[in-house]
Structure 1
Amino acid sequence: MSAKPDKKPQEAAVAPKKPGGMGLGGMKLSGLLKPQAATVADSALKELPLDVIDEDADQPRLEDNPGFRPEMIAEIGGTIKARGVKQPISVRESPDAPGRYIINDGARRFRGSKWADKTTIWAIIDNDFVPDDQVVANIQREGHTAREIAKLIGQRMASGMKKGEIAKRWGKSNAYITQHAALLDLPAPIAQAFDSGRIADVTLVNELVTAHKSNPQEVADWLADESQEITRGSVKLLREFLQDGKERDPNTVDAFNDKTDAELDSEGEGEGDVPPKKKTEPKEEDPTKIKKAIVQVEINGDLCRLILTKRPSDGDVAWFKNEVSGEEFEASLASAKLVALVEG
């Protein structure tokens, strides 16, 4: 019978368990101090120097993607400088350069870390990577809606935080916080349009709120038209129309006496102590203004219209509607050839 092999030195150094104990003699306390991301296998999680990481040249987001704008990277960098990177990026080992890594997911956190003058970043090594992984991650990462952001701001303000504190904590501008805070107390017709998804642009909401302060009924009537597309162009035309001023139609029935302005004028004539009401001519509409604009384009030989009320999945695409079949689809803006601008 052969002799048993000697124990390995590291095994011999471990003290035996004591009866009734928890067997912690061989445990290193440093293992309890790893970041929360260490739920991934230790071998997959590493703190890597930024200078050994490269961005994926074939990633689906182009360099002109809105998420890569300098101000966006500066916002991310500001939060990283103050709070660090809370979620590791994902990388894979470079097949062409041993010791280097290519980003699977987290290019903005990587750029933000550089902006914040960091030298390392936590990364999960994931060599089981396919290009579609990036597409799925970008499509599914919708983030908070403007209404959700407003609710969060309201909660922070209720706890005693100032808008400036929230802006600094979130790495956003004061104007961004103020605009979203305005969503907490909207006039009813604007709130209804916003909650239903007809308005998604916070800037448009604030422009409508401004118009509503001086012309509440006109704005409410304008929003009541469900066929009205709410875009930056249409809201601009609405505000210009309201600012130009308009006389009331003399045939409009007064809600208090059930008589038109014309009837009241005729009743006032001949009464010496009551001067007749001055008649006003209805103002002619400006023929150069378009109440509802329709942008027609040609895509693959088909006549289509640009849908301005449906949010695209990326900055270089948009939603279109085939004028013949009625089919709605998403396509690249570069593939659309402008045909005409008509009034709906």
Structure 2
Amino acid sequence: MTDQLHTIASSGLALHEIGDLAGLLSEQPKEASGYAEIDINLIDEDPAQPRTEFNPGFSAESIAELAESIDNSGLLQPITIRKHPEIEGRYMIKDGARRYRASKQNGAEKIAAIIEDEGDKSAARVKIEQLIVNLQKEGNTPLEIAHTIATALEEGIGKKTISSLIGKSPAWVTLHTTLLKLPAELDAAYKAGKVTDVNIIYELNKLYKTNQDDVMAWLDTPGQEFTRGQLKLFQEYLKDKKENIGGIQDANNERTDNLSDTSNDDLNSDQVSDTALTGEGESNIEVGEHSLVATGDEQLQSAESAGTSIDPELKQQEDSEKKKVVDPSKFKKAIVQIWHDGRPGRIMLDKRPSTEGRGHIKYDDDGHELEVDLGEVKLLAVLEG
């Protein structure tokens, strides 16, 4: 199992790019009959390689992780080089730029390399071959990685050791093992390919514990995109919903207290012997040998029939609440969906723009916020939040 983790660590890729996990069960084939230890200072990167500096695999963090992995486990897969097309005595990398950079970062003086004879191949042909190599390095699914980690844990290898071997944090290891403990509904959504981002699955698993119905409704929404930006919007929706419910409950509790106090003060003592609250907006009133449960409205009616005085403000509050009928033609909260700069988003109606004709928007894909010219925004839909 340790060898399998070593293979993950030394694949020369970020973990979302590592090769077929099935290959962990057998030795990785060499790309040629043998390799040599080459002076690392005689090797140059190919400036025309398909990967650019903007590739996530070339980020400082990614190279640092690979460098740590190579430092712990060694370079298990040689890089592939060819003779430099312009400088005699030097070499150019065909495959393994990340392993090369990580090894240099570790201070290596030599690096294991397979030297290929390119013959009369054109630069374009070499570049195509480089692209093919990258395309063939299909990343393992998070679930495949999770099973490998789980097997290592079962054999007694600790999370810290595993994270050190593969150059990832213990939190990253925990993130993936969560996939093996998902509720049936989330597990089905993941395996069906509906949600493939392990971070989204991890967050949904946390939300599922307290918002099961909402999570399943979100997953079953037709046309719903499951991006991190959309997840952030969903989390905001659940937060707003919780705050609104809490506000309604507080208002009901306050209203019940007011009704109870007024009724107890004003009701005729010969008719009512005792009043005790039994729930939100209700009180248990004992009249003689009989008992009844009265709502706030009934308490007011009882007070009126008894000829007692009623607090005008309380009566006005009651009348106002009676008039609060839900209008199906109006939104409680509106979300304005837009399209800007080739990306979906929404207008942030609660933020004041710097000047007329501008507005704040939030992109759905990554949650980024910025102020834009509204003339550049395309209105897509107005939905209920």
TM tier relative to shorter chain: 0.5 to 0.7
> Are positions 1:286 and 2:333 aligned together?
yes
How far apart in 1 are the matches of 2:69 and 2:238?
42
1:297·1:340 contact (CA, 8 Å) conserved in 2?
no
Q: Trace 1:107-146 onto structure 2 (pairs within 5 A).
A: 107-128=97-118, 130-146=126-142
CA 1:125–1:39 in 2, change beyond 3 Å: closer, same or farther?
A: closer
**What residue in structure 2 maps to residue 147 of structure 1?**
143
Instruction: Verify: 1:194 aligned to 2:232, yes or no.
Output: no
Report the alpha carbon displacement of residue 132 of structure 1 after superposing the two structures with TM: 0.2
1:219 Cα deviation (Å)?
A: 0.7
Shift in CA distance, 47/166, structure 1 to aligned 2, threshold 3 Å? same
Name the residue aligned to 1:276. Answer: 295
Aligned residue type for 2:87: A
CA-CA distance at 1:247 after TM superposition: 5.0
Where relative contact order (Cα < 8 A, 6+ residues apart) is larger, the structure is 2
Which amino acid in 2 is paired with 1:65? N
Q: In 2, Cα distance between the equivalents of 1:228 and 1:38? A: 44
Taking a change above 3 Å as real, the CA distance of residues 78 and 273 of structure 1, as seen in their structure-2 partners, is same
Aligned residue number for residue 153 of structure 2 = 157
* Contiguous gaps of at least 5 residues in structure 2: 1-26, 247-279, 298-320, 345-375
Residues 195-235 of structure 1 show CA distances to partners (whole Å, capped at 9, x for unaligned) of 11221222111221121111111111211224211111221
State the partner residue of 2:179.
183
Aligned positions of 1:241-256 closer than 5 A: 241-244=237-240, 245=242
Q: How many residues align?
A: 253
Question: Contact 1:90–1:106 at 8 Å: present in 2 too?
Answer: yes
Is contact 1:247–1:282 with CA below 8 Å preserved after alignment?
no
CA separation of 1:94 and 1:204: change in aligned 2, threshold 3 A: same
When the two chains are superposed, the root-mean-square deviation of aligned CA atoms in Å is 3.5
Whole-Å separation in 1 of the counterparts to 2:170 and 2:378: 40
Any residues of structure 2 matched to 1:1-344 within 5 Å, and which?
40-42=32-34, 45-128=35-118, 130-244=126-240, 245=242, 273-276=292-295, 285-287=332-334, 289=335, 295=339, 340=378, 342-343=380-381
Q: Distance in 2 between matches of 1:139 and 1:38?
A: 18
1:38 and 1:49 map into 2 onto residues whose CA distance is 20
Within 1, Cα distance between the matches of 2:338 and 2:190?
22
Letter in 1 for 2:32: V
SS of 1:131's equivalent? helix
Ranges in structure 1 where 5+ consecutive residues have no aligned partner: 1-34, 249-264, 299-304, 307-337
The percent identity for this pair of structures is 37
* Structure with the largest fraction of helix: 2
Please state whether the residue corresponding to 1:218 is helix, strand or coil.
helix
| Alignment check: 8 A CA contact 2:31 2:114 kept | no
Query: C-alpha distance in 2, partners of 1:189/1:147?
Result: 16
When normalised by structure 2's length, the TM-score is 0.58
